[in-house]
Amino acid sequence: MKRYKIIHRTYYNYTDIVTLGAHHLLLRPREGHDLRIESFVLKVTPDAQIYWHRDVEDNSVAIANFTGPAQQLTVESEVIIQQYNESPLDFIVADYAINYPFSYTEGDQFLLSPYRVLPDQKTRELLNNWIFQVWKSGEQVQTYTLLQRLTETINKTLVYKVREEPGVQSAEETLSLGSGSCRDFALLFMEAVKCLGLASRFVSGYLHAPLMSSQIGSTHAWAEVYLPGGGWKGFDPTIGDIVGTDHIPVAVSRLAEAVPPISGSYAGSAKSKLDVGVWVSKL
């Protein structure tokens, strides 16, 4: 078991007084047999009423409702987790899914259908040609091996860039530019996996990067694929490997743009400036 502390600070500074609308906060890690929360503290300024619920994806969502005007919004979270996913390859895939291609069971197909929606025809053609460079139809390959190949190919052939702009690049844009952020790489991987007929979803969270532990970091993104017998397994094309103990998931979604850490609105003519700091350290 490993313990990590994650500090996530977000500051919105406005040029004038504004009225804050409700804000949705996705900051609490996803608990399970492989991750447990030891402590979690959330501070919001100005004062707000906080209501918690779990959304349809079972993410923990805090809704902050504000009562007064403000010229700055501060959201600070500090969490200590216990991470038990120290052997990410220690899982067993169902016999019928060990080798690719395979078909999900009828029951799984129904439940997984939202995560298997294919991209548009132009994108499918582009990705099928791209996949052909990694795997050719008829080649015998294990399902995990194929997924790992896709992960490594994105890591080795595309250039990682930090993007401050909101939103996610399309798979076509990322391949055309030859570069992207972690969320862009995650979406490219997801779309390719769907073209293979497999279920995939987007994950936002944190990554412990020892070489950058003393620097101001940011949130991280990767993708998960549903493997019968193994469940949802994470793959991180930014680092070119399966998701392991240094990855801390916070929220999942079938849509890459649906799980920003903080989303909300304000009323007023002021402009806003955003500052974010994330620190992930091993205890």
Question: What's the confidence (pLDDT) of residue 211?
Answer: 55
Question: What's the confidence (pLDDT) of residue 92?
Answer: 93
Question: What's the confidence (pLDDT) of residue 197?
Answer: 97
If you average pLDDT over residues 51-57, what whole number do you get? 97
Residue 267 phi, psi (nearest 5): -110, 135
Instruction: Give the global pTM.
Output: 0.94
If you average pLDDT over residues 9-21, what whole number do you get? 96
Query: Of residues 119 and 167, which shows the higher confidence score?
Result: 119
Written as six digits, the tokens of 183 are: 């969320």
Give percent of the chain with pLDDT exceeding 90: 89
Question: What's the confidence (pLDDT) of residue 17?
Answer: 96
Q: How far apart are alpha carbons 200 and 151 in whole angstroms? A: 13
Single-letter code of the amino acid located at 131 = I
- Asked if residue 79 has pLDDT above 90, the reply is yes
- Asked if residue 217 has pLDDT above 70, the reply is no
pLDDT tens figures, 105-120 = 999 999 999 999 999 9
If you average pLDDT over residues 215-237, what whole number do you get? 90
Q: How far apart are alpha carbons 44 and 122 in whole angstroms? A: 44
Single-letter code of the amino acid located at 2 = K
- Asked if residue 172 has pLDDT above 80, the reply is yes
Query: Of residues 143 and 166, which shows the higher confidence score?
Result: 143
Q: How far apart are alpha carbons 181 and 222 in whole angstroms? A: 10
Reported confidence tier of residue 86, pLDDT bands at 50, 70, 90: confident
Question: What's the confidence (pLDDT) of residue 214?
Answer: 45
- Asked if residue 260 has pLDDT above 90, the reply is yes
Residue with tokens 């005007």: 69
Q: Which residues contact 53 (CB under 8 A, 6 or more apart)?
A: 61, 63
Mean pLDDT rounded to a whole number for the chain: 94
CA-closest candidate to residue 117, choices 199, 175, 57: 199
SS3 77: strand
CA-closest candidate to residue 247, choices 211, 226, 219, 227: 219
Helix ranges (H only) for the chain are: 106-112, 121-132, 143-157, 171-177, 182-195
Q: How far apart are alpha carbons 269 and 245 in whole angstroms? A: 45
If you average pLDDT over residues 23-39, what whole number do you get? 97
Q: Which residues contact 232 (CB under 8 A, 6 or more apart)?
A: 201, 224, 225, 226, 252
| Residue 170 CB neighbours (<10 A) | 18
Reported confidence tier of residue 80, pLDDT bands at 50, 70, 90: very high
- Asked if residue 77 has pLDDT above 80, the reply is yes
Question: What's the confidence (pLDDT) of residue 213?
Answer: 45
